[in-house]
Amino acid sequence: MLRLDGVSTRYGQIQVLRKVSLEVRQGELVCLLGGNACGKSTTMKTILGLVRPFEGTVEFQGERIDGRKPADISRMGIVPVLEGRRIFPDLTVEENLLMGAYLRSDQVAVRQDKERMFGMFPVLADRRRQAGGTLSGGEQQMLAMARALMARPKLLVMDEPSMGLSPLYVNRSFDLISRVHAEGVTILVVEQNANMALAIADRGYVLQVGEIVLSGRAADLRDDPAMRMAYLNTARKD
Amino acid sequence: MLAQQLLNGLTQGSMYALIAVGFALILGTLKLVTFAHGEVFMAGAFVAYTVVSLVGGNLLWAFVLAVVAAGALGVVIEFFGFRLLRNAPHTSSLLVTIGISTIMVNAAQLIWGAETKTFPLGQETGSVTVMGLTFTGLQLTVYGVTLAMIALIYVLLDRTKVGMAIRAAAQDHEAAYVLGVGINRIYSLTFALGSALGGLAGVLVGLYYNAVYPTMGGMMGLKAFSACILGGLGSVPGAVVAGLFLGEVENLAVAYLNAGYRHVFSFAILILFLLFRPQGLFGRKENIR
């Protein structure tokens, strides 16, 4: 569904990504792992059209999307969930959901989807007239997810869903992601917390200084000695 | 007597509220303090004056054309003062709006001359007296227009999709952008809307005092800015309340103390608020940078 092939990018003189290749297939939950400043965000921005690669290609459903405008890419069905949830604090929960469907014009279906989200996340239904900013961190994560789903994404790209959440909410947040995945949504999660991400993902890629150094099935990555050394032990909280 | 003074203050305050709401919309959404707002106000007054001098007493056309012209000016100012400077530091935009305001004052002097113009409307419109209070036709017009505009802005912002997008963009423009909101269009529209309100206030003030001159926007722009700080940066309801409040205070100062104290009171209140409640009446602390 999504395929990056030999993608390299730079900011000014500094090369950030070096021949990054990765793939997300229909229905998969794939995670892209790595520490700070390893190029995770740049990879995400490249997929969303916010950064242009100077070599390599990005394909979505067989069409090249590198060099296209972000708005066109989001219209094709790639929907991001930004780091930090980015709920509109003074819009009500309901309005936040409607903003997710901003590009859709099928009002009847939008209303149905909204009710479906309230069914999926009853907490949000209870708070539908409340301002988004009054929700707890975990509730905001749900709202961010539901808002993204309102766009009927073909591919959900999530940036650091665990960032800034307490350990309890990190767990809930990943439960939420696997729930949404179970509903049939294809997801790419960009994440530092390798333990959590590999626990729910089908496959994973590991980025280091702009290069993919490891990739494979999530279960294999969890047992990979290099992986354990580099990430899992340090990331382990228990 | 006091009631009559309060009524006059309400008139003044309505016009402040109108121009301040426009200012607050722009400030709240684009995070830009526009120093050309007073000049858009002035331009609105001059367009109305020109229409009335050319085609005579039909005020409706004067209002409509002034609002349209002010809105169009807003689009131009947004383009040069904001969009072209998207990646520049924020102070650049601010300085450009100061430059635009200077250009506009001088352009108005070139086109219409520096002397004060009066509307060739002949006799004052009639007045009605209710319970000992006298309302002039102009006052009623000011109340009516202000009320209608505030209601219109409320409905637009709160009940329509584009209004929701404006609010969303004001709160987190990046998040709105990735959801597909055309940010440039929203900014342009907001600037046009805010400027149209400023232009409308210009027509009302020009008619009410029957005086239109190129520098009439300077003090008004500052008053709009004051009302915005008083109401809470970028808060539309705050701008309405603060505008009415400033109008009342000024009017009472003129009536009971001395006409010279008029601006002193407004700005003294502003300074007190900045010292003791910088977030204003309706603002939040975290909005202050």
CB atoms under 10 Å from CB of A219, counted, come to: 14
> What's phi and psi for A60, nearest 5 deg?
-130, 120
Taking CB atoms and an 8 Å limit, are B179 and A147 in contact across chains?
Answer: yes
Taking CB atoms and an 8 Å limit, are B174 and A86 in contact across chains?
Answer: yes
Burial bucket for residue B58 (CB in 10 Å: 0-12, 13-18, 19+): exposed
pLDDT value of residue B131: 78
Helices of type H across chain B: 2-30, 37-55, 59-81, 90-112, 137-159, 161-171, 173-178, 183-208, 216-231, 236-256, 262-276
pLDDT tens string, chain A, 238 residues long: the values are 999 999 999 888 888 999 999 999 999 999 999 887 788 989 998 999 888 999 999 999 999 999 898 888 888 999 999 888 899 999 999 999 999 999 999 999 999 999 999 999 999 999 999 999 999 888 998 899 999 999 999 999 999 888 877 888 888 889 889 999 998 999 999 998 888 899 999 999 999 889 998 999 998 988 888 777 766 654 444 4
Nearest CA distance, B8 vs chain A (angstrom): 35
Can you tell me the distance from the alpha carbon of B88 to that of A80, in angstroms, rounded to the nearest whole number? Answer: 27
Identify which of B171, B177, B127 has the alpha carbon closest to the alpha carbon of residue B4.
Answer: B127
Compare all CA atoms of chain A with the CA of B169 and give the residue at the minimum distance. A88
pLDDT value of residue A47: 94
For the segment B192-217, the average pLDDT, to the nearest whole number, is 96
Can you tell me the distance from the alpha carbon of A154 to that of A186, in angstroms, rounded to the nearest whole number? Answer: 7
Q: For the ranges A148-157, B23-32, B244-253, B259-268, which has the lowest average pLDDT?
A: B259-268
- Is the pLDDT reported for residue B288 higher than 70? no
Entry pTM: 0.88
Nearest CA distance, A98 vs chain B (angstrom): 9
Identify which of A48, A46, A49, A50 has the alpha carbon closest to the alpha carbon of residue A19.
Answer: A46
Identify which of B288, B273, B266 has the alpha carbon closest to the alpha carbon of residue B230.
Answer: B273
Instruction: For residue A91, give the nearest of B164, B174, B182 by CB distance.
Output: B164
Residue B178 touches chain A, beta carbons under 8 Å = yes
Residues of A in contact with B180 (CB under 8 A): 71, 74-75, 102-103, 151
The complex's ipTM works out to 0.85
Report the percent of chain B where pLDDT is more than 70. Answer: 96
- The helix/strand/coil state of A160 is coil
Residue B173 touches chain A, beta carbons under 8 Å = no
For the segment B158-170, the average pLDDT, to the nearest whole number, is 95
pLDDT value of residue B249: 93
Residue B174 touches chain A, beta carbons under 8 Å = yes
Residue that the structure tokens 């969930």 belong to: A81
Instruction: For residue A102, give the nearest of B171, B174, B179 by CB distance.
Output: B179
What tokens does A44 get?
């995400």
Q: Assess contact for B199 and B44: CB atoms under 8 A.
A: yes
Taking CB atoms and an 8 Å limit, are A48 and B178 in contact across chains?
Answer: yes
pLDDT value of residue A98: 96
Q: What is the pLDDT of residues B100-128, one digit of tens each?
A: 999 999 999 999 999 999 988 765 667 78
- Is the pLDDT reported for residue B285 higher than 70? no
Compare all CA atoms of chain A with the CA of B173 and give the residue at the minimum distance. A88
Taking CB atoms and an 8 Å limit, are B181 and A102 in contact across chains?
Answer: yes
As a whole number, the mean pLDDT across chain B is: 91
Residues of B in contact with A89 (CB under 8 A): 171-172
What tokens does A13 get?
């003189």
Residues of A in contact with B182 (CB under 8 A): 71
- Is the pLDDT reported for residue B56 higher than 50? yes
Taking CB atoms and an 8 Å limit, are A70 and B178 in contact across chains?
Answer: yes
Taking CB atoms and an 8 Å limit, are B179 and A98 in contact across chains?
Answer: no
- Is the pLDDT reported for residue B57 higher than 80? no
Residues of B in contact with A147 (CB under 8 A): 179
Q: Assess contact for B28 and B236: CB atoms under 8 A.
A: yes
Report the percent of chain B where pLDDT is more than 90. Answer: 67
For the segment B13-28, the average pLDDT, to the nearest whole number, is 95
Which of B 134-163 lie inside 8 A of A, CB atoms? 161
Identify which of B94, B109, B134 has the alpha carbon closest to the alpha carbon of residue B42.
Answer: B109
Taking CB atoms and an 8 Å limit, are A82 and B167 in contact across chains?
Answer: no
Residue B285 touches chain A, beta carbons under 8 Å = no
Helix axes B262-276, B236-256, angle to 10 degrees: 140
CB pairs under 8 A between A and B: 54
pLDDT value of residue A238: 40
pLDDT value of residue A236: 43
DSSP H or E stretch at residue B172: none
Can you tell me the distance from the alpha carbon of B213 to that of B220, in angstroms, rounded to the nearest whole number? Answer: 12
Q: For the ranges B67-81, B177-191, B267-281, which has the lowest average pLDDT?
A: B267-281
**Rg of chain B taking only CA atoms, in angstroms:** 19
For the segment B193-199, the average pLDDT, to the nearest whole number, is 97
Sign of CA dihedral A175, A177, A180, A185: negative
